[in-house]
Amino acid sequence: MQNTDIDKLLLILREMNFDEYRDPITTGNTFQDLLNELYFFKKEKERKKKKIDNIIEHITNCFCGNFFNKFPISSDEDELDVICLGFNTYIEELQSVVVMKEELEEINTKLFLEKERSLQLSSAKDEFMSSMSHEIRTPLNAIIGFTNLLIQNKDITDLQKKQLNTIKKSGDLLMVIINDILNLSKIEAGQINLENISFDLSDTFQTIQDAFELRITEKNIAFQVKIDSKIPDQLSGDPNRYSQILINLISNAIKFTPNNGTIKVSFTLSREDELHHYIQFEIQDTGIGIPGHKISGIFEPFVQVSDDTARKYGGTGLGLAIVKKLTELMKGELDVQSEANIGTTIKVTIPFYKENRQASSSEYTKEENIVADKHVPSSNNQINILVAEDNLINQELVKAVLAFYNYNCIIAENGQQAIELLQENDFELILMDIMMPVLGGYEATEIIRKMTDKRKNSIPIIALTAIVTDSVTQKCQQIGFDAYLSKPFDPAELNQKIRDLVIK
């Protein structure tokens, strides 16, 4: 081989090796230098091929699921080592992502389990509240019901009447406590649905005032009421929840105001916008007041100003908590100003719609169907009522109340007996308990509504139950009850519902 050919080959090889490896391999122009350059080039190509094969094998393993094997890094620190280093960095990041994914999956699993546990606890709480309500209201129904009947007895002495009134007040107090606990539980569980119906503020408040008339008179309280003439005759909102706020605040004012004290109640149209009238209710009393450092805590559940207050005045400390939560639910505002031994002023501002946006109501309003569904009583002008009730004491109470209003009644101890008696006899109305052995009130009502006899399947049915949860009232409405009355029931209210549903 001529020297010029060797020089040309050496030049090509040296340029290739220098471009790839940077360091010169040989410096001469001999045939041996050429061989050395070729051997070096061959060795490096084999080394790189081995590295490439190793990379391909690692990548193949990655596709097979073995993500976390890192590439070995040689001391050569060539471009393949740079690629391997970058891949190893990617592997480390991938490992971090996988670890984070596993942690997130673990957290999600825990959250799911916590959610399931919360739902179970919520369900258990609802069942407990429902059971507690039923178990307490059932004996209270007898206590308050028979007491009301005895009070109306003209043969009792003044002392006996006073003692009976004491029993009635104690029963009513227990009912307030039970209702407060149930109401707070429903609010916290988000089970309160606000209505949007038209109502008269003056009429609503007059009903509330009448309910407190006896307590106001007993304590000789100067009860002053002022209603702003600018307030529209009709407001659109939830009168029941608004009444609940008023009742709690007025009850507190009466309870903590001493004999011969003063309570001032005022309603004003505080402001209005395009959609709403903002009605401010203010109640000012000359009661025991609240120390400044205690005001912020009085709206918390079960909190009272002091242990002495709880012992002396009673109550659970739930009334103001309910006021606060209902005010927030109605998007209202609440303000308290008080001074110990001077008195307290509480202001509540609630927005009401300017127009009547009628919403679905939990009340039983079947006006369009009442005429068709009313039953004509039997020829002797007596109303025959079927009472489905398993509790013996409550059976006696209902019989006594119905007899007082001159109604005839037959008792069924469960839903199955009620169906059999209805099939064999004519009745104008059914009073149906919900929780009964053999066959409950829901199931019995569903069967009655499917009877082929139109007179029997359309008979008015009033749910008379110690369960007072919203789910029960809604289910009663869905199944086909015509009215709902909770125990302990007001005899006069029961009588009115019977008269509303049956033509005499």
Note whether 261 and 221 are within 8 A (CB): yes
- How is residue 390 written in tokens? 């398993």
- Residues 141, 466 contacting (CB under 8 angstroms): yes
Q: Name 418's Cβ contacts closer than 8 Å, sequence gap at least 6.
A: 386, 388, 412, 430, 432, 444
Residue 58 C-beta-side C-alpha neighbours within 13 Å: 16
d(CA 162, CA 152): 12
The answer to whether the beta carbons of residues 459 and 158 sit under 8 Å apart is no
Do residues 486 and 466 make contact, with C-beta atoms less than 8 angstroms apart? yes
State the residue for tokens 């104008």. Answer: 428
Residue-level pLDDT, tens digit, the chain, 504 residues: 556 777 777 777 777 766 666 666 777 777 787 787 778 778 777 877 887 887 787 777 776 766 667 777 776 667 777 877 877 787 778 778 878 888 888 899 889 888 888 777 767 766 666 666 677 777 888 888 888 888 888 888 888 888 888 787 777 767 766 776 776 666 766 667 777 888 888 888 887 888 788 889 989 999 999 999 999 988 898 888 888 888 889 988 998 899 999 999 999 999 988 889 999 999 999 988 887 677 766 667 544 444 454 445 444 557 788 888 888 888 999 998 888 888 899 999 999 988 644 443 333 333 333 333 444 444 445 899 999 999 888 899 999 999 989 999 999 999 999 999 999 999 999 999 998 999 999 999 999 999 999 999 999 999 988 877 667 788 888 999 999 998 888 888 899 999 999 865
Q: Which helix (H) or strand (E) holds 128?
A: helix 79-151
264 touches 347 (CB < 8 A): no
Mapping DSSP to helix (H, G, I), strand (E, B) and coil, where does residue 124 land? Answer: helix
- Under DSSP, the state recorded for 502 is B
CA 172 – CA 157 distance, rounded (Å): 22
How many beta carbons lie within 10 A of that of residue 364, not counting itself? 18
How many separate helices (H) and strands (E) can be counted in the chain? Answer: 15, 12
DSSP assignment string, 280-330: EEEEEE-SS---GGGGGGTTSTT--S-HHHHHHH---S-HHHHHHHHHHHT
- Give which of 170, 264, 186, 184 is closest to 222, Cα–Cα: 264
Name the one residue in this structure whose structure tokens are 């480390």.
92
**Which residues lie below 8 Å from residue 107, measured CB to CB, with a gap of 6+?**
none
Q: What single letter denotes the amino acid at residue 301?
A: P
* Residue 430 and residue 386 in contact, taking contact as beta carbons nearer than 8 Å: yes
Exposed / middle / buried, residue 484 (Cβ in 10 Å: 0-12, 13-18, 19+): buried
Q: Give CA–CA dist 501/504, Å, rounded.
A: 10
Tell if the pTM clears 0.85, that is, is over it: no
Phi-psi domain of 22 (left: phi exceeds 0; alpha: psi -120 through 50; beta: other): left
Q: How far apart are CA 347 and CA 329, in angstroms?
A: 16
Residue 328's closest CA among 201, 194, 204? 194
- The pair of structure tokens assigned to 331 is 């998007």
Amino acid at site 348? V
Tokens of 190: 């988000």
Give the number of other Cβ atoms within 10 Å of residue 212's Cβ. Answer: 17
